[in-house]
Structure 1
């Protein structure tokens, strides 16, 4: 059933796809869904200076963008990389992807990270770390849809880390979504929107140990199904102190600055602070 709807979404023009996604988001908002509860809690934590009305508006906008994220998944996964690339109407910073430097893509849960990964891999082979789903059948489907052409996927485990290191040595790009909630091992507690939360250390350690440049990479979702804007921007996440805690703090600050540009496009229905607060 999931595959059927993803395929159906893939056949729609992007404008219609995002219209359906908007309706999904509005439904999530109107039905007091679990997603709405999590989004509201996160926005209350991260934007305490907004009025209640402003927070509610942001909750609604965020759920609409989440709905678009659901519908556009089929659009991205069941169409070719080249077809996806046609919907990138503007690219900033593509020159940073060239060359043979060790390069790590810092990819937050912002905008459409799925299309960003595909389009970047057209410039240079890319190995992307992902978190496995508990449902093995769904995980196998997800992996088959994501891992194509020069986009390779590795699981977030010890074997996956070794594969990332091997990919770096082979001069591939490697990509990590560092704002997922990690296990205690391989993480530290760091501030994100002035709220302490557990944050992975893998990306900063790989950057330091491999003398790699770090590129913040994201695709803004444009209004009215007009496409996407791909952005590739060098960021400094290695502190002057050389301490991992300080490096992670810099990384979180960089993500926070991006999120503030279009907060509705961040994945707020993810329990980012679950180890600290109760949802």
Structure 2
């Protein structure tokens, strides 16, 4: 059903279709124009599945979500990184089923994630209720995407807690720098470097790969060696390079229709 929904949206939304084709074509991951169109149609199917998985991930019991994760690649490295109760920031791009990934991680570790409220009030309430189902002792595992929320998150990390951050969301004015992403300048958040510097957390890049025919999901984990650079521009390039690496592993499941290359109001112009 989700795959069909994705195909319908791809067919009926010229803007979404144009952006997906443009981003895929510029990525260098496809061959000729026909290959780009084929990959874009396959991608639309995968994104449609992700949309319908959201309700399932939010409102099924957490143990059902965990059972849907059939395999985990690299979890042993995460456990070694957690030795001594060290904080972990899971860096999860718009790849695969990121809602499944977040819910699964919450069942394994004390997660506090930042959340940007949705513009539609009732939808925001619905999502927050789903994400808080059986969450932490105070009934909440999310912090608002505000300065107050950043302080909550830092306090949580300094106590050895964990968090989930989507690194390829376009940040607001003053919260990012321009860095290359698949060969094009993309306004990229600096929050990851600041959080790691202030908390000493280890960064783990991860995603939930959607398996074929509804068979479930496979989690992939890659622990970043060392810390991001103190130079925010260099750190942003490091983050984008790691996201590119993950996307190359599973290109059909990346959110190519997202306006990743937009110019936020108030941000400096992108480099030529």
Q: Same fold (TM over 0.5)?
A: yes
Q: CA deviation at 1:220?
A: 0.3
**1:110 aligns with one of 95, 103, 111:** 95
TM-score w.r.t. length of structure 2:
0.88
2:257 is equivalent to residue 269 of structure 1: yes
Asked if 1:248 corresponds to 2:233, the answer is: no
Structure 2 gaps of 5+ residues are: 264-268
Change (3 A) 1:234 1:180: same
Greater alpha carbon shift after TM alignment, 189-198 vs 128-137: 128-137
For residues 75-108 of structure 1, the C-alpha deviation after alignment (integer angstroms, 9 at most, x for no partner) is 2112011011111110122231444102111111
C-alpha separation in 1, matches of 2:49 and 2:226: 31
C-alpha deviation, 1:142, in angstroms? 1.0
Distance 1:204 1:79, change over 3 A: same
Supply the RMSD in Å over aligned alpha carbons: 1.9
Alpha-carbon offset, residue 41 of structure 1: 2.1
Aligned CA distance change for structure 1 residues 49 and 84 (closer, same or farther; 3 Å):
closer
| 1:8-23 to 2 correspondences below 5 Å | 20-23=1-4
Q: Report the alpha carbon displacement of residue 261 of structure 1 after superposing the two structures with TM.
A: 1.1
- The CA deviation at 1:43 is 1.3
Matches of 2:156 and 2:129, distance apart in 1: 20
- Structure 1 partner of 2:266: none
Three-state SS of the structure 1 residue aligned to 2:112 is strand
How many residue pairs get aligned? The number is 257
1:128-151 superposed Cα distances (whole Å, 9 cap, x missing partner): 122221122211111111123346
1:188 corresponding residue in structure 2:
177
For normalisation by structure 1, the TM-score amounts to 0.86
Q: Distance in 2 between matches of 1:130 and 1:53?
A: 38
Any idea what SS the aligned residue of 2:105 has?
helix
How far 1:48 sits from its partner (Å)? Answer: 7.5
Instruction: State the Cα deviation string for residues 209-233 of structure 1 (Å, max 9, x = none).
Output: 2222100121100011110001222
Moved more, 188-197 or 29-38: 29-38
